[in-house]
A and B are shown apart, each in its own frame.
Chain A
Amino acid sequence: MRGDEKGGRLSSQASKPDTPDATLIARVRAGDQDSMTVVYDRYGSIVYATALRILGDAAAAEDVLQEIFMQLWRNPSAFDGSRGSLPAWLGVIARHRAIDVLRKRHPETDFEDVVIAASVDLGREAERNVIAEKVRGAMTSMVPEQRRCMELAYFEGLTHSEIAAKTGEPLGTVKTRIRSALIQLRKLLSPGERS
């Protein structure tokens, strides 16, 4: 049951799988549930996979998935289409929330505070797949120590001091490893490299 006439009219337009993200979000703002369903079908798996990788618990990952999409439904304006791509934004939010759950703490990041650059075009699934493959390749090509540092920072949300304590490596080395890993990633995604 749609909430109103406007929502019902928009829903018939929104159900196409190739509708741009910005249009979908605009329709979600107008209360269109079908557009929300398309957003979920498009990006639910990114949020779930990230939460599951961090939490290692399917039920907890499902809760994070539910919470994030409900928040987006309640406050779609938190995502500003002019300041980033929706899948990357959802990925960052998913990571933050899952780490909050992992560390048993109250949510530390507001959705509105997450602003991301949009230097990479993630509008189409094929492009997303190419980028994802490149990022996976970059992670695999890292030396094991560097990959370990990145995984501890990214998937476990540890601070560099905690990583240093866990790996027994000097603090400066840990910082350098993480920083250079992300710089490597950035280079990989720069226009010259992408082509």
Chain B
Amino acid sequence: MNTHDQFAENVRLYALGSLDAGERQSFEGHLHECAECRRELHAAQEELGLLALSTVGPKPPARSRERLLSAIAKEPKRVERQANIGKGWMWIPWFATVVFALLSALLYFANLRLKNDVAAIRANSQTQEVELRQAREMLDLLKSPDAMRVTLTTPNEKPKPNGKTIYSQQKGRLILMVSNLAPAPPHMAYELWLVPKQGAPVPAGTFWPDASGNATMMQTTMPSGMEPKAFAVTLEKAEGSDTPTMPMVMMGAAGD
């Protein structure tokens, strides 16, 4: 059954008002695009009209007729009478022409301004697109499982665990990249802490290094406006902890 068939089944239910809100909305969306369903709907409306026609009941009371006649008499219609337009109204076409010319000029300048705005928006959008693509490529590289991380040290020195955090205080976003970290013990995880200048350390997410000892973590929901004194990593239970458990595995002071 194709999409149209599914909607076509609901035509009569829609005409009756029997569809639930969600179904009604989605049917109305389809109705705009489907002439066949519109035709079916008109046929279903006719069926409903005939049902009304078959309803038996008393005639409306005479007072209803009087009430209606009295109401329409109080609301005489304004009927157009073209023939009564005399020479005294001949200025109307001239006036309309002047108004039309003014409106055309106004629309021309408005159109010109809109074109300029659209060009500026398009240029801005292209710049943003390039920036977004670069950011996405960088992020893809950082998160790629085959990304090779090599720590350069002086010759013959065994690589030590190290990490980098990039944190934006205003945006409340943080990236952590670590390498050479030993696997976390069973049922344990590494947890990153933001140590603010004032107050207790704030948990910034748990992570597990891969087989090569590397891990990358992004946090986009950090509370904004916190001024960090340092960042630290501890070993915690797998589900994370509210307060850091000593000793610290890694630590770095902000601004170093």
Interface residues of A (CB under 8 A from B): 1-4, 6-7, 30-31, 33, 36-37, 40-41, 44-50, 52-53, 58, 61-62, 65-66, 69-70, 73-74, 83-85, 87-92, 94-96, 99, 114-120, 122, 128, 131-133, 135-136, 139, 153-154, 157-161, 163, 175, 178-179, 182-183, 185-186, 189
Contacts and interface: CB of A to CB of B under 8 A. Distances in A.
A186 B71 contact: no
Interface of B: 9, 12-13, 16-20, 39, 41-61, 64-65, 67-69, 71-73, 75-79, 81
Nearest to A95: B52
Contacts of A161: 20
Contact of B52 (A33, A46, A74): A46
Contacts, number: 185
B29 to A, nearest CB: 16
A99 B53 contact: no
Contacts of B67: 62, 66
A103 to B, nearest CB: 10
Nearest to A41: B65
Given A66-B68, A178-B13, A179-B13, A119 B46 contact: yes
A117 B39 contact: yes
Contact of A53 (B19, B45, B57, B79): B57
B142 to A, nearest CB: 49
Given A46-B55, A189-B47, 13 more contacts: A6-B79, A30-B77, A33-B69, A48-B57, A48-B60, A49-B56, A66-B67, A69-B68, A88-B45, A133-B54, A135-B50, A139-B51, A160-B18
A45 B60 contact: yes
17 contacts: A2-B76, A30-B77, A31-B76, A45-B59, A46-B53, A48-B64, A50-B52, A66-B64, A66-B67, A70-B68, A88-B46, A114-B45, A132-B53, A133-B54, A135-B51, A179-B9, A179-B13
A132 B49 CA distance: 10
